[in-house]
Structures are given as structure tokens and as C-alpha cells.
Amino acid sequence: MGHIGKQTIVFKNPPVITCAYSSAGPKETEGPLGAYFDNKLEDELLGEDTWEKAESKLIKQTVQGLLNKANKKPEDIQYLFAGDLQNQVVASTFGLKDFNIPFFGLYGACSTMGESMSLASIMVAGGMADLVMAGTSSHYCAAEKQFRFPVEYGGQRALTQQWTVTASGFVLISRCGVGPKIEAITPGKIVDLGIKDAFNMGAAMAPAAVDTILAHLEDTKQKPSDFDAIITGDLGNCGADIAVDIANKLGVDLSSVFNDCGKLIFDDKNQDTHCGGSGCGCSGSVFAGYLYSQLSRRNLKKILLVPTGALMSPGSTQQGNTIPGIAHAVSIVMD
Amino acid sequence: MGHIGKQTIVFKNPPVITCAYSSAGPKETEGPLGAYFDNKLEDELLGEDTWEKAESKLIKQTVQGLLNKANKKPEDIQYLFAGDLQNQVVASTFGLKDFNIPFFGLYGACSTMGESMSLASIMVAGGMADLVMAGTSSHYCAAEKQFRFPVEYGGQRALTQQWTVTASGFVLISRCGVGPKIEAITPGKIVDLGIKDAFNMGAAMAPAAVDTILAHLEDTKQKPSDFDAIITGDLGNCGADIAVDIANKLGVDLSSVFNDCGKLIFDDKNQDTHCGGSGCGCSGSVFAGYLYSQLSRRNLKKILLVPTGALMSPGSTQQGNTIPGIAHAVSIVMD
């Protein structure tokens, strides 16, 4: 059912993203994309007593919101693909368990939105399911506590650092229906150029983003201008510049169509987020909120969404390991 | 390309497991299945300076071993599905990065072998790829350090506790070729009966195992005796008894065909492992080592492999959460 490219799969029966739903925290809602989020949180704790439980509730609200918006029940959804940044992806486990939907747990760091949409598309395009759900989440305080310092500690943030968003995005992927279609995917390779600075994730992920974008363009014989936008996950301000620069040196000028969810979600002049947004929920909520809306209104007709992930743990960094990156590309068109 | 059951996917074009390769640590090699492992480790550290790096090397050796055994190069493999127990699945990241194969990172706790084989099968059966790889790993010392206590601490082990195996198993899943075929899969739901004892994972996972097995039997209209064996991932001695008991109360007698990789891998009388083996690498290595060999020789003609996972993190347990379970069933036949 799919054409086998070198790395890219072009779907003969492109799955349709029939519905999308996004939740975002108070800071994200105050940003430039605030109006596009379905569920605007006023309380970063969502009434829970820990940040970790708050993230699970964020996921639960997002999935329930998507079901309501699409007028579906949990039993209408055949399979669910999701993951998050918490150790052993427990935010997803506790956020999703009560829906009782067969579940594939994923870990692709901040590339998880691309990974979940890719696997969901493969399943639907291959005729294995009619309706599945894909999504992801992140929570600023849970992620800071786990990967760097608890926010209560008040550590100073490096200027190359990004702000993990408190947000979640889920989408319905269907065999038929109306909406933007996933016409192709390019699952990414692990790319390691030896970056070790855990306070500069954008630099660590940029080579992987370029690797996947160039593979997609080559496999599908397209050029950057064939897309209205090529939008990476969360390279942020630093990483986005590096990505455009690397692509340029490899002979591909991305500059006219390139953007990044981490750049879009915050106003870097007024929100003091340094290098922009990050976290699984960044590309998750920017796609399910802003980009899905732009596609549905035909303001964008064809995009390449490229969620990017930094594959490390605090332990791997402490043991002197590098920070490899990965990026999964999803080509989405609106007829 | 697949029949849509309630929860089960029956493949019209069943993918073939054309090759399998297993690695196992010194203790696992001394167990009853020792002779079946391809790569018998003498040194639990594999010459590395940390347990975490040792697990990455274990994965690297297993994947390279599989490539050699199948006479393939990394570029022959289109996609790779894998995961492990380390935070942010970094064992897989660092073990797999140099092979340069597009990678889907998974987290299904000890059910990961079932999850990786399921997703790989969906991709191949759906016509999206001709040859992919799936697998997983675990390392006793890395897992104990992360989930309980560093082994150097010498903590006393509870009698209901299992022994996380140091082992890895990877398989090649192909559109055509010779070998056991994956005829159907039943991806599992998250099942939470409220177990909170982190030293009794078997009890936490048993309800999920039964839920998936019964869903598979019902969806495919089969009975336990249609299988030569129904083999769970790592319920261990305690959990296996609980699973048979739960199934019995629900009117299904599994006892004549039921077994468990965690029971098979150690000799509980002489190896002092208390409740048997566990860890992603348990079902991974027992399948890629022992079961694959039994299927290839037609000593087993049809099995239901049901890797089982406990979806928790140390943090979620410390915050008073339950330990939900999940189990993914893979039905494998040898013509």
C-alpha cells in the first residue's frame, strides 16, 4: 500500500487527520499562538499535588477534549500511539490508562509527535485500522526537575537554553474523512555529531533535522519551494539558524520556507524564554493547535512537519556521552 | 492488508521472521536455556566502565550478530524498532546509533519485544517495507540501580521479586523468505487493578496478560488448545500462577499450554532468583534464542508470545501511584 523509497514511505492511500486538539499552559497561552489552543490552562498544576500528576491530567484532558470535539467515544478509537519525556513515559501511562484503548508507548524525546503520527499513518494506510489516535505532551516543571534542576531551585538559565512547554497535542488519524492528509513520512536516523552541551539542545538536534529533511527531499524528488513551510519541532532560535546553515553548506537553501515550532510558540522578546520552546508538547500543540487550523483553512496547503528529539538522559550525560539527535518528517497536504 | 478484529489484527500477508539472534549474560547462560543463546557473555560489564554503557554494547553486539548471522549489512535493513528499560531508552540510542538505520524508539517496559515485533509486522504486512528489525534488551545491574537499589548496596531481595536478566534479542522481519510467520497480533490495553507493590511485578502484570490473551482468543475464535504454547513475557513464578488463576475464574483454562519466559530462563531451585526472570531482554532473548529455535525445528508449530510490561517509574511509585500492566500478543506459526 506504500511506495518504498530509500528512507521515505509515500502512502498510496494517504490517511486523513480528521480532528486535532491542543492544550497549553498559562505561559504558552500568553504567547503568539495562544488563540489557537483549544484548552487554555490557568493552573500549571491542574489541581494536582505534583508536576508529574499534572502532566498526566493534561494528557487526559487533551484526549477527552479530542474525543468530544470529534464526537467520538474511546471505544471508537482502535489504537493509540503516544509518549512523553518522563522516565518510563509514565505521564502517558497514567494519563491514558482509563480510556482503555490498545496502546503503543513510544519514546522519541521531542520527536515523539512525528513518531506517533508516522506509526499511526503506517497502520491506517496499511489497512490495519480505520481510526487511531496519536499524540504527545510535556510539562515545564516536570521536565526541568527531571532533566536539569527543580524550578524551585531557581537555577540561572543559559542563553542557549530553551523552555520546555507545558502543552499537549493529539490528533485523530482516519482511513477516510475530511481534513489534511498525510501523504508521506520519512522516519529519521539517529545522528550524532558529538555535541555534549545539555544546555544547547538545538545544536544537538539540528544535524538530525537536516539529515531527515534532505532525505525526504531527495527520496521524493522535491525542492524546498514545493512546500509552503518546512517546520521543525523544537530546534529553537539557535538550532533553527544552525539547521539552515548546515543545509546551506550541503547545497540546499531552506531559508524561504523554514520555521520551527519552538520559535513560533513564544515571543522571545517579551517572554524571556531565551532560545524558544521545546519539549514533546511543543510540536504536538503547535501542530494540533496552530498548524492544523492553518491547513484546515487552506492558509497552508502543504507542509513538512519535522519533530526533532535529543536522545539523552541525565545519566548518559553524566557518564560523558554525547547527545545524539533524531527527527521524523511527516508531509501533510490539504487538497 | 489486514483483517480488522476488535483488538486483533490478522495479517493477510503474514510477515516472516527470517532470522533471530540472542545475547545473554553469565547467569542467564548458566540457566536451563543457556545452550540456545547465540552470544554467551563472560563479563557482565562487556569491558565497559558502567552498567549502562555495558547494556548499549550488549545491544550493539546483538544487532551486529544478527546482521552477520543473516549475512546482511546495516543498509539492507529499512527500519529498526527497539526499546529498553533505561530512562529515555538511552541504552538503545547508544547501542544502535552507529548502524545508521531509521529508528523508532519504543517504551513498553518488559512488553517491548511484543511491541517492537507488532509494529514491525504492521509495517511489513502493510507493504511499507521489505525487511525490518525488532528487538530489545535489559541489564540486571543497570535495571536494579535505576528501579530499586544499586547491586553494590547488597539489599535483600523479596521472595516475590524477579531477577532482571542481562540479555538481548533481535529478529529480522521480512515480507518474504523462510521461517516462522507472524499471523496475527493483539496490541494490549493498559490494565490497572491497583497493585502498588514494586517488589511483586508479576502480580501487577498478570491481569494485563490475561486481558490480552482472552482478547486474542475471542477475536480469532480460538481456544487455548489451538496453540502448542501460550508464553507470557516475564510474569515469573508468582505472576504465572496468578494469570492461570484469573483466566480460570473467567472460564478459560490455560493450564495445559501456559508457560512464561521468566520461568523458563532460570532454574529457580539452584539459581536463587526467587520468582524467576524479568526485564525486556527476558522475552527478547528467550524468543530469539530458545523459542525461535523450537519453531524452526518444528518442535513448536504455533505459539502465542505475550510479552508483559509493568508501566511504572520509581518516581510514580514514590508518589503513591499504582503499577498498571500491559501485554502485547504475537501469534507465530511454523508451516
Contact assignment for A107 to B107 by CB distance below 8 Å: yes
Indicate the pLDDT class of residue A155, thresholds 50, 70 and 90: confident
Chain A: nearest CA to B269, how far in angstroms? 32
pLDDT of amino acid B2: 42
Secondary structure of residue A329 in the 3-state scheme: strand
The arithmetic mean of pLDDT across residues A152-162, rounded, is: 89
Class assignment of domain B181-333?
alpha beta
CB pairs under 8 A between A and B: 185
DSSP code of residue B68: H
Indicate the pLDDT class of residue A4, thresholds 50, 70 and 90: very low
Cell of residue A271, nine digits: 517572554
Mean pLDDT of chain B: 96
Chain A: nearest CA to B15, how far in angstroms? 13
The arithmetic mean of pLDDT across residues A30-52, rounded, is: 97
Burial class of residue A270 (count of CB atoms within 10 Å of its CB; 0-12, 13-18, 19+): exposed
Q: Cell 527527527 maps to which residue? A: A327
**SS3 track for A20-80:** EEEEECHHHHCCCCHHHCCEECCCCCCCCCCHHHHHHHHHHHHHHHHHHHHCCCHHHCCEE
Measure the CA–CA gap between B232 and B247, rounded to whole angstroms: 13
Task: Centre a 10 Å sphere on the Cβ of residue B72 and count the other Cβ atoms it contains.
Answer: 16
Of B93, B186, B312, the CB nearest to A324: B93
Q: ipTM score of the complex?
A: 0.97
Max intra-chain CA distance, chain B: 53
Residue A1 pLDDT more than 50?
A: no
* Shortest CA distance from A100: residue in chain B: B189
Instruction: For strands A2-4 and A9-11, give the pairing.
Output: antiparallel
Residue B199 pLDDT more than 90?
A: no
Find which of B99, B104, B131, B182 to mutate to test the A interface (most A CBs within 10 Å of its CB).
B104
Amino acid sitting at position A232: T
Of B78, B311, B326, the CB nearest to A90: B311
Measure the CA–CA gap between B59 and B265, rounded to whole angstroms: 19
User: In chain A, which residues fall in CATH 3.40.47.40?
Assistant: 2-6+10-174, 181-333
Contact assignment for A102 to B187 by CB distance below 8 Å: yes
Contact assignment for B316 to A90 by CB distance below 8 Å: yes
pLDDT of amino acid A6: 84
Cell of residue B301, nine digits: 508449530
For B21-35, letters b (16+ CB in 10 Å) and e give: bbbbbebbbebebbe
User: In chain B, which residues fall in CATH 3.40.47.40?
Assistant: 2-174, 181-333
Which residues in chain B touch residue A1, judged by CB atoms under 8 angstroms apart? 1, 126-128
DSSP string, B106-120: B-BTBTHHHHHHHHH
Contact assignment for B312 to A192 by CB distance below 8 Å: no
The arithmetic mean of pLDDT across residues B155-184, rounded, is: 95
Of B127, B130, B321, the CB nearest to A94: B321
Of A93, A104, A311, the CB nearest to B90: A311
The answer for residues whose C-beta is within 8 angstroms of residue A15's C-beta and 6 or more apart is: A120, A121, A124, A125, A173, A174, A175, A181, A182
Find which of B9, B52, B93, B110 to mutate to test the A interface (most A CBs within 10 Å of its CB).
B93
pLDDT of amino acid B268: 85
Contact assignment for A87 to B88 by CB distance below 8 Å: yes
pLDDT of amino acid A3: 41
Check: CB of residue B174 under 8 Å from CB of residue B15: yes
Indicate the pLDDT class of residue A2, thresholds 50, 70 and 90: very low
pLDDT of amino acid A251: 97
Q: Where are the alpha helices (DSSP H) in B185-286?
A: 201-220, 236-249, 261-264, 280-286
Measure the CA–CA gap between B319 and B323, rounded to whole angstroms: 11
CATH hierarchy code of domain B2-174? 3.40.47.40
Contact assignment for B4 to A90 by CB distance below 8 Å: no
Q: Cell 496490541 maps to which residue? A: B187
The arithmetic mean of pLDDT across residues A245-258, rounded, is: 98
**Dihedral sign, Cα of residue A221, residue A224, residue A229, residue A233:** positive
DSSP code of residue B290: I
Measure the CA–CA gap between B33 and B269, rounded to whole angstroms: 15
* Shortest CA distance from A122: residue in chain B: B123
Check: CB of residue B304 under 8 Å from CB of residue B330: yes
Of A53, A126, A187, the CB nearest to B1: A126
pLDDT of amino acid B267: 95
Check: CB of residue B164 under 8 Å from CB of residue B144: yes
Cell of residue A306, nine digits: 519535522
Measure the CA–CA gap between B258 and B272, rounded to whole angstroms: 23
Residue A5 pLDDT more than 90?
A: no
Q: In this predicted model, what pLDDT tens digit does every residue of B98-135 receive, in sequence order?
A: 999 999 999 999 999 999 999 999 999 999 999 999 99
Mean pLDDT of chain A: 96
The arithmetic mean of pLDDT across residues A269-283, rounded, is: 94
Q: Cell 529455535 maps to which residue? A: B293
Contact assignment for B105 to A108 by CB distance below 8 Å: yes
Q: In this predicted model, what pLDDT tens digit does every residue of B307-334 receive, in sequence order?
A: 999 999 999 999 999 999 999 999 999 9
Contact assignment for A7 to B319 by CB distance below 8 Å: no
For residue A302, CA distances in Å to A33, A219, A234, B227 come to 20, 17, 20, 49
CATH superfamily of the A2-6+10-174 domain: Stage V sporulation protein AD (3.40.47.40)
**Segment holding A18, helix H or strand E:** strand A16-24
Chain A: nearest CA to B31, how far in angstroms? 29
Task: Centre a 10 Å sphere on the Cβ of residue A327 and count the other Cβ atoms it contains.
Answer: 33
Residue B75 pLDDT more than 70?
A: yes
Cell of residue B190, nine digits: 493498559
